[in-house]
Structure 1
Amino acid sequence: MNILKLLFSSPPAPLSYMKLGPDGSQDNPLMIQFFTWDAESTTTSWWKHFEDEIPTLAELGFTQVWLPPPNKAAHPKGRGYDAYDLWDLGEFEQKGTTATRWGSKEELLSACRVATEHRIDIIIDAVLNHKLGADGVEKLKVVSVDPQNRLKELERQEIEGWTIFNFPGRGNKYSALHWSQEHFTGLDWDQSTQTQGVFKIVGKGHKGWSKNVDRELGNYDYLLGVDIDHRHPEVQNDFFAWGPWVLETTGAVGFRLDAIKHIDRKFTLRFVRQVRMIATNSRMFSVAEYWSGNINAVLPYTRAFKGETAFFDVPLHMNFHHASQHYSRYDLRNIMNDSLVKNKPGHAVTFVDNHDTVEGQSLESWVGDHFKIQAYALILLRGTGYPCVFYGDLYPNSECYNENIARNLKLLIKARKLYAYGGTQDYLSSKNCIGFVRLGDSRHSGCAVILSNREDSFDTSNSDFVHSIRMNVGRSHAGSTFQSYLTTDGRVEIDAEGWGEFTCFAGSAQVWVKL
């Protein structure tokens, strides 16, 4: 019976065992994505900017920082997603620069040391899908495919492709692997004819597209640049060596896995497991980017990875985006429906926005300013999921900063650290107003949260419309007074049974805490 139970039992939820914060801490853990797409410090390097902000981040309650890809990019100002050399962290003169866009290796390692001193963990952005910025071309036998259906072959031909990676600045330091066409499955440029397309490399030794990828566009193995063949033994060995090396070098505790819908699932699962084993870190953190707003597409991936990685809750983000688009027409009682955090809370890293969702970016789906704080209240103050705050919402920047949002976001972050503990009780009052209560624990008094998406124009005769929900905060608070936290002028008296009448203005959010 015990053997049968073992065979058919589900693996533990990743957020239940992975390292999210300092050992022994009873405070809520919290992640921040510490960059935007165009992030660049004008007075110092980005790594030095991060190092300077670490004490403030620790005081606010952040326990993990997702940093941008630290590897050498194809261009001096490349973000690292145009990955040229994963083994170059800003150490070698390559691609016209020694430092990366973000700074030198020495500056990166200095910031990582300071973060560790402040009990903040580093998360490395692992770009394992593709390479760009090759050092040379070679002749390739390919078949062009329909960009909208990569399973439809069009024409067999010979092209010149940028598939030679010799890393002349680094040589064989750290890794002796020099890449050529045998390590790739496809590319998008023929140098001889200056033609763009999607070309699948064929010929001896090539196996075509991986079948263990997303089925969008027929087969979504190819995304951009020169697509890596993760079935090649030399590729696998190089990545399996790089993973533990970059963790040990930086002191990081884990990875954000970029673009996994395009990478062979079997490889990615093996990568996470191998690195955990080699690094002797069973609690290594891992969160995967599988970009789909369809929960029915996401759930099979969570099962395929057998509890080895968490996932960003893209369906919840899309709910927030749609809510901000539809204003008071959106029914807030449905806001958590069809999200990962509702279906598999132990797998869900929740977020409101990131570098790709900003207006004008590749995955544009920005959550409007009028709904931003309501969305953050839902991920920061509820009891399920692991939230990630976006740098662009918290720090001044040219892409998406709103001073009022940043001010209220800081208050929500502090409320998470001080009050948001214990069980969660929902009050789905009406289409345009919902609330929830965190019941607290032996060390924290809990809080009551109410939020609205009703527009000021909803009732032109009363632009100061106030919502009200009767919620129970527990009999232990009988006779006490709760105060509004995002403002300081509100009071709610709690009756002998623990009930109180909590309010917020139309189109806003409010947090109530015990005086």
Structure 2
Amino acid sequence: MFSKLASWFSHAFESPPSPLLYMRLGPEGRDDNPLMIQFFTWDCLHNSLSWWKHFETEVPRLAELGITQVWLPPPNKAAEPKGRGYDAYDLWDLGEFVHKGTVATRWGTREELLHACKVANEHGIDILIDAVLNHKLGADHTETFRAVPVQESNRLRNAGPPRQIQGWTSFDYPGRGDKYSTLHWHHEHFTGVDWDQTTRTKGIYRIAEPGRRGWSRNVDPELGNYDFLLGVDIDHRHPEVQEDLLSWGKWVLQTTGATGFRLDAIKHIDRKFTLKWIQETRAAAGDKSMFVVSEYWSGNLKLILPYIKAFKGETTFFDVPLHMNFNQASRERTRYDLRKILNNTIVQVKPNDAVTFVDNHDTASLFPAVEGKSLESWVGDNFKIQAYAIILLRGYGYPCVFYGDLYPNKECYSENIARNITLLIEARRHFAYGATDDYLAHPNYIGFVRRGDATHSGCAVILSNKEDDSGGHIHELRMNVGVENAGKTYASHMTKHGRVEIDAAGWGTFSCFANNVQVWTPLEQAD
């Protein structure tokens, strides 16, 4: 009895595992720093190729850059022919069946997707599936049921009496039939809808048929209860729903050869189900290291930390607070104190839970508002490279590069920024190893040193947000790169023209132009 009690106490106070220390961040056997890319923007389409074909043609370049994981857009059939997949119609249709007037998704056909994934795997790149599990859109038929309108600002408060409405809740999948899954969705599989077809009225309606339990309690408390986000909200407590989504997780990994997931909008999904889904999908895949990153969209670290705790180390989280700091720095320019750039971020307090990023498809300035609100928080060009230097070259967190910042596109591309990001990715692959020493010298310029390891020499980095109209102001910062580098000469990696001599104690005076970034590496490896 005593031994059982002792065992219970020991497990009760165990810390959850640190995701980035056990999850797969790329193929086994690679010694280079891992790196993820989000390979799409909101409006992206290729001029002559399907998106899957475009991705396939870029695989060799991505492998050469050192990309180890690619986050692809949702591969499922959308409610609209050009829908991005976040308007999820059928998770099981990867571009195989005639639905919504098309076989292909916005991104291409099932065959193109599977071939692109195969080519990526052959080049040592893992695939991540964007899983949209919160809602559905584009039902095949309406159904009549009892519902209660609720307030937009507080979903726990009714906005009127119960009534009969017609909602788009019948998903029959006539093109697919029962292939892969026999579940045809109806109103009993959902908690709410956003449209009454009878009155043609948009609103939030909680389904209130007899025996229904209303909104899930295990969701974010924003707006009273944030179970409902958009479209037709899935009830993740329903046994048939659980069975279908759990089966899909295992199936999509096996079908595509993917090794992990990006989970969309988890603050709106029942936490208990999401945790169960991750654990059981990982077990079904037979891969304890299966990678998972979750989107909990909030810049408030205090709101995110309870979610991190609730998921017991089973998923990483995008560091939205860090992104918000980058956005603020780009807006405030010289007035922003760079010494505070990591304050109140996931990477600062739980670095092995943090997937860091600068921008993504949600933050782009052209991203449309959802329910009258926008996630727009674009990091301006004046701070883009500084932000990338922080996520790519410091030794904490796991960075994700955005397609929109690296590839030509109509939404947000800058050739100069793309060139500099490429240089930073090269520095990450070849030099950014070992312990990180920070030099928080001044509100407008800071630096850090990577000490290197047995096979990599390390680097020194300095960045500035000081606006300089003359274009000639230079910051200087004295940093120590270790006595093992005494007598060496460091060269500038970004501009290929500077030199720094390291003294007998390992110190050097490193420089950077105002409102810029410089990376310094030992001369014999700076080519």
TM (normalized to structure 2)?
A: 0.96
Q: What corresponds to 2:326 in structure 1? A: 320
**Matched position secondary structure for 1:365:** coil
1:77 and 2:82 are equivalent in the alignment: yes
3-state DSSP class of the match of 2:191?
strand
Give, in whole Å, the separation in 2 of the partners of 1:283 and 1:203: 42
What are the Cα deviations for residues 309-328 of structure 1, in whole angstroms up to 9, with x where unaligned? 00000000000000000001
Distance 2:331 2:414 in 1: 18
- Residue 375 of structure 1 deviates from its aligned partner by 0.2
Q: 1:304 aligns with which of 284, 307, 310?
A: 310
**For the Cα contact (< 8 Å) 1:182–1:205, is it kept in 2?**
no
Please state if 1:437 is matched with 2:452: no
355, 380, 383: which one aligns with 2:395: 383
Match for residue 231 of structure 1?
237
* SS in structure 2 of the partner of residue 513 of structure 1: strand
> Which residue of structure 2 lines up, in the alignment, with residue 501 of structure 1?
509
1:172 counterpart residue number: 178
Q: How does 1:4-403 map to 2 (within 5 A)?
A: 4-155=9-160, 156-361=162-367, 362-403=374-415
What SS does the aligned partner of 1:149 have? coil
Whole-angstrom CA distance in 2 between matches of 1:96 and 1:10: 51
Equivalents in 2 of 1:299, 1:451: separation in Å? 29
- Whole-Å Cα distance in 1 between the matches of residues 67 and 359 of structure 2? 17
Instruction: State the alpha-carbon separation in 2 of the partners of residues 360 and 103 from structure 1.
Output: 23
Matched, 1:484 2:497: no
After superposition, give the CA deviation of every residue in 1:14-41 in whole Å (9 maximum; x if it has no partner).
Answer: 1110100121211100000000000111
Q: Which amino acid aligns with 2:29?
A: G
TM-score by length of 1: 0.98
- Distance of 1:318 and 1:353 partners within structure 2: 10
Inter-partner Cα distance in structure 1 for 2:15 and 2:31: 27
Deviation at 1:205, TM superposition (A): 2.8
8 Å Cα contact 1:124-1:254 kept in structure 2 = yes
Deviation at 1:449, TM superposition (A): 0.3
Distance in 2, Cα, partners of 1:171 & 1:456: 64
State the 1:298 CA deviation. 0.6
Cα distance between partner residues in 1 of 2:366 and 2:46: 21
**Any conservation in 1 of the 2:478–2:508 contact (CA below 8 Å)?**
yes
SS of 2:158's partner is strand
Q: Which amino acid aligns with 1:467?
A: H
Post-superposition Cα deviations, 1:178-228, rounded to whole Å, max 9, x if no partner, equal 000000000110111110000000022311000110111110000000000
The answer to whether the 8 A contact 2:318-2:356 is kept is yes
User: What's the CA shift string for 1:400-443, capped at 9, x where partnerless?
Assistant: 00000000000000100000000000000000000000000110
Alignment-mate amino acid for residue 482 of structure 2: G
Task: Give me the whole-angstrom Cα distance separating, in 2, the residues matched to 1:369 and 1:306.
Answer: 37
Identity %: 67
Once the two structures are superposed, what CA deviation does each residue of 1:29-63 show, in whole Å capped at 9, x if it has no partner? 00000000001111010000000000000000000
Distance 2:18 2:484 in 1: 32
Unaligned runs of 5+ in 2: 1-5, 368-373
Distance 1:183 1:2, change over 3 A: closer
Q: Is the 8 A contact 1:149 1:217 kept in 2?
A: yes
Partner of 1:427: 439
| Aligned residue in 1 for 2:3 | none
CA contact (8 A) 1:273 1:308 kept: yes
Match of 2:157, SS state, is: strand
CA deviations on 1:326-359 (whole Å, 9 max, x unpaired) are 0010000000110000010010000000000001
Q: Counterpart amino acid of 2:433?
A: Y
Partners of 2:365 and 2:378 within 8 A in 1: yes
**In 1, Cα distance between the equivalents of 2:240 and 2:32?**
43
Q: Deviations over 1:475-497 (max 9, x none)?
A: 11100000000101100000000
Structure 1: gaps (5+ residues): none
| Structure 1 runs, 4 residues or longer, greater than 6 Å off | none
Q: Distance in 1 between matches of 2:513 and 2:334?
A: 14
1:123/1:252 contact within 8 Å kept: yes
Contact residue 195 and residue 203 of structure 2 kept, 8 A: yes
Q: What secondary structure does 1:176 align onto?
A: coil
What residue number does 1:454 align with?
466
Corresponding letter in the other structure for 1:227:
D
SS of corresponding position for 1:170: coil
SS of match in other structure, 2:144: strand
Q: Does the CA contact (< 8 Å) of 2:25 and 2:69 recur in 1?
A: yes
Q: State the AA in 1 paired with 2:202.
A: Q
Distance in 2 (CA, whole Å) between partners of 1:506 and 1:258 is: 38
Q: In the superposition, relative to structure 1, how do residues 2 and 230 fare at CA in structure 2: closer, same or farther (>3 Å)?
A: closer
Deviation of 1:2 (Å): 6.5
Contact 2:366 2:411 in 1 (8 A): no
Asked if the contact 1:321–1:368 (Cα under 8 Å) also holds between the matched residues in 2, the reply is yes
2:175 is matched by which residue type in structure 1? G
CA distance in 1, matches of 2:212, 2:53: 44
Q: Measure how far apart 1:3 and its partner are.
A: 6.0
Look up the SS of the partner of 1:470 in the other structure: strand
